[in-house]
Amino acid sequence: MPEQNENQSGLKVPEGSPSGLGAFLDRQLDAGRIKFWRTLFFLILLAVALLNLLIKSHHPHFGVDRYPFFWPVFGLVIGGVMVVLVKKIIQPVIKKPEDFYGDL
C-alpha cells in the first residue's frame, strides 16, 4: 500500500499522486462516489430553491418578478438562448477552415 501524505487542506492523498481539485474529483470518480456528490448537489439546490420561497429579499421592480422562481427560470431560459445564438450565429462567423493555420 502506498504511503499517504497530507496535502495543504489536510486530506490524505497517496504518495506521488497529484493534488488539486482535478485530482480530488478523479479520486472521487474512481471511488464510485459520484452518486453521493450528485445527490448532495441536488439537495443543496433544493434547499436554496425552497429558501427562495421563504425569504423575500426585495420588492418586485417589474410585474413578473413577484412570482416565485422567476429569476432562476429567467436565467435558465436566457442561458439556453445564448447557447443557441452562439452555436447558430457566432460560431459560423469565427469558424476557420481545417487547414487555415497550415501544417504546424
Each residue's pLDDT expressed in tens, for the chain with a length of 104 residues: 455 555 555 666 566 667 788 888 888 888 888 888 899 999 998 998 888 788 877 788 888 888 878 888 899 999 999 999 999 998 888 888 888 887 76
d(CA 8, CA 20): 9
d(CA 52, CA 66): 12
Q: Same domain for 44 and 74?
A: no
* Residue spans of alpha helices (H) in the chain: 21-30, 34-54, 70-85, 91-94
Task: Please tell me the predicted confidence (pLDDT) of residue 9.
Answer: 56
Task: Please tell me the predicted confidence (pLDDT) of residue 3.
Answer: 52
Task: Please tell me the predicted confidence (pLDDT) of residue 81.
Answer: 96
Q: Same domain for 83 and 40?
A: no
Q: Same domain for 64 and 84?
A: yes
Task: Please tell me the predicted confidence (pLDDT) of residue 27.
Answer: 84
Q: Same domain for 15 and 33?
A: yes
Q: Same domain for 78 and 47?
A: no
Q: Same domain for 51 and 69?
A: no
